[in-house]
Amino acid sequence: DQVFLLDEICSPETAAMYGPGVCTVSGDAELTTGLSSDTTAVHFGPKSGELRIQLYAIRAASQPRWSLDALAAASRSEGSTLYRSISWGSCGTDCPSDPEDVQAPLSQDFQWAAVVDDLQGSSYVLSQIDALLTLRGADIDLIDIRLPGYDNSYLY
């Protein structure tokens, strides 16, 4: 089973329950409607923008190993690149080192891009509001994220 997360993590209900910092955008990125009017997507404009998700909202990050894919496409003919960075924040020695950033090249066709691939997690991340997953880029439409191999119990 796949868990589709963007609607859940970036919903107004989640922000009301856990605070507005769970899912934020900055720069030339905006939360918008997805494939239908009741779904959420992120549009990264021609200047660089960021989507930040607090890792405690992705319970799979507390497991020994975890992965995350982004369903995205470039909005320009020459393609775009989606960048992923992770900071474990103030977790210290209880969490792994911050991993290297990852680049996922995108075409104009929507595709699942692996942005976290079998990464070490930590149970301490559930109490760290400053541990962040950041996706950034320009000229990209991101319509979902998923956790391969996890069910709904791995949402916040």
Reading the block at residue 42, the tokens are 């992120």
Give the per-residue pLDDT at 148: 87
Contact present, 149 and 118 (Cβ < 8 Å): no
Residue entry with tokens 């992705």 = 58
Contact present, 147 and 66 (Cβ < 8 Å): yes
Alpha-carbon distance 102 to 95, whole Å?
19
Alpha-carbon distance 101 to 106, whole Å?
16
pTM over 0.75: yes
Kindly tell me if the per-residue pLDDT of 150 is higher than 70: yes
> What pLDDT, in 10s, does the model give residues 2-47?
556 898 888 888 888 888 889 999 999 999 988 888 888 999 999 9
User: Helix, strand, coil: what percent of the chain each, to 5?
Assistant: 20, 50, 30
Alpha-carbon distance 74 to 152, whole Å?
29
Q: How many CB atoms within 10 Å of residue 52?
A: 18
37 against 104, higher pLDDT: 104
The architecture in CATH of the region 6-154 reads Sandwich (2.60)
Nearest to 20 by CA among 35, 31, 10: 10
> What pLDDT, in 10s, does the model give residues 89-99?
998 888 899 99
Q: In this prediction, what percent of the chain has a pLDDT beyond 70?
A: 94
Q: What is the mean pLDDT of residues 108-124?
A: 94
The residues near 105 (Cβ < 8 Å, ≥ 6 apart) are: 79, 80, 81
Instruction: For the chain, give every domain's residue range.
Output: 6-154
Kindly tell me if the per-residue pLDDT of 149 is higher than 70: yes
Kindly tell me if the per-residue pLDDT of 156 is higher than 80: no
Computed over every residue of the chain, the mean pLDDT equals 90
**How many alpha carbons lie under 13 Å from residue 96 in its C-beta half-sphere?**
15
Q: How many CB atoms within 10 Å of residue 41?
A: 19
